[in-house]
Amino acid sequence: MKYLALIYSAPGTAPEYGSDAWGPFMAGYETATKTYLADGAHIAGEALQPVETATCVRIRNGKAELTDGPFAETKEQLGGFYLLDCADLDQAIRYAKLIPTAEHGTVEVRPVMEFDG
């Protein structure tokens, strides 16, 4: 079954790019990705640009409404994801625990809806 691991954190909580803590933080991501690849679970994974670069599209009464981000007053923002192929939720949770942002943010694990046909 496919699971999406959505990676959330509040701005300023991750190690700052170029700091002494940045290298080990990113090494944790490399380790997680290598584990997923070695186990045959990795389908995709990417970091996202900051929420300020996002655009939200809504169709209301047949007209497109575009809104530039950020869209809501929230502490944590979506920063990236992994799409994983796992045997079950327990395996997906084990993999989510490898994501370094889980130490200061949140990793939401959600099954992907599969449609017949």
pLDDT tens, position by position, 30-43? 999 999 999 999 99
The mean pLDDT value of the chain amounts to 94
Minimum mean pLDDT range among 10-14, 66-70, 79-83, 88-92: 66-70
Domain 2-111, CATH among 2.40.30.10, 3.20.20.70, 3.30.70.1060, 3.30.43.10? 3.30.70.1060
Give the HSE-up count for residue 114: Cα atoms under 13 Å, Cβ half-sphere: 7
User: Residue 28 burial (CB < 10 Å; 0-12/13-18/19+)?
Assistant: middle
* Residue pLDDT, tens place only, 55-77: 989 999 999 999 887 666 678 89
- Percentage of the chain surpassing pLDDT 70? 97
42 CA to centre of own chain = 13
Give one word for 70, left, alpha or beta, with left for phi > 0 and alpha for psi -120 to 50: beta
Q: Is the distance from CB of 99 to CB of 84 less than 8 angstroms?
A: no
pLDDT of 94 reads 98
Q: Take residue 53 and report the two structure tokens written for it.
A: 């670069």
CA distances from 86 to 113, 116, 117 (A): 14, 19, 21
At 8, give phi and psi (nearest 5°).
-115, 145
Residue ranges of domains in the chain: 2-111
pLDDT of 68 reads 87
pLDDT of 52 reads 87
Coil vs helix vs strand at 83: strand
pTM for this predicted structure: 0.90
CA distances from 11 to 16, 51, 77 (A): 10, 10, 8
